[in-house]
Amino acid sequence: MSAGEVSELRAQARPELAGRLHFDSTPAIRRDIARTIPSYAGIEHLARERDQFQYGGPHLCWVWTFATPDGKAHFSPARLPQVEVPEGWFLAATRRGRQFNSMIQGSRDTLTGAARDAVLVSAADAARLGLASGDPVRVANDLGALPGRALVAPVWPGTLQLHWPEAEVLIDRNRRAEAGVPDYNAVVRLERAYEPAGV
């Protein structure tokens, strides 16, 4: 979807805001981000595939002074939360591959070659469920459901990996990790999905 199409969609959804926010191109959006969020300065220079920048400069936290007696950052171990996974369910983690916040998301993960609808599952779990790579599956919990295709991969048994943002429908927005950031993991069911005959 182009920047013009996004503007048109926004104008139809919120006509009262149509005159207040308009961008003719994706570079125009990036220029506005750099203007309004100084720590994102550099995003306006992204022009070609594989261009990149680090918000806050090339070295994040370089020469920072922290509110500690010696001014240095200090780290301590965090307790991992206990996650109850019912028998037969999975702990699903979301993955980005090479797609990060401001990058274009391609139809395939360039690190693994997996399609965006891939549900990465261990060989042991796939065998237990009678699944092979390419089989249609459905990942679901009380929040939503995600259709996809199984991809047997080297992931830990009892876990799945799903691409972001597709897996957002399964994420509890109210659940936060100890640091206050969203918990991008979910407890889910995995089942075979059946396609109509002839598909």
Residue 104 confidence (pLDDT):
56
CA distances from 184 to 96, 104, 176 (A): 11, 20, 9
Which has the closest alpha carbon to 189: 112, 107, 129, 108? 129
| Cβ pair 6, 26 in contact under 8 A | no
Tens-binned pLDDT, residue by residue, of the chain (199 aa) = 666 777 777 778 888 877 777 778 888 888 998 999 888 888 899 888 778 887 777 777 778 899 999 999 899 887 777 889 999 999 999 987 655 554 556 788 877 889 989 999 999 999 999 999 999 999 999 999 999 999 999 999 999 999 988 999 999 888 776 667 778 899 999 999 987 655 5
Residue 197 confidence (pLDDT):
59
Does the pTM surpass 0.75? The reply is: no
Q: How many CB atoms lie within 10 A of CB 195?
A: 8
Structural domain spans, the chain: 1-70, 90-192
Q: Which fold has domain 90-192?
A: Barwin-like endoglucanases (2.40.40)
Three-class DSSP category at 81: coil
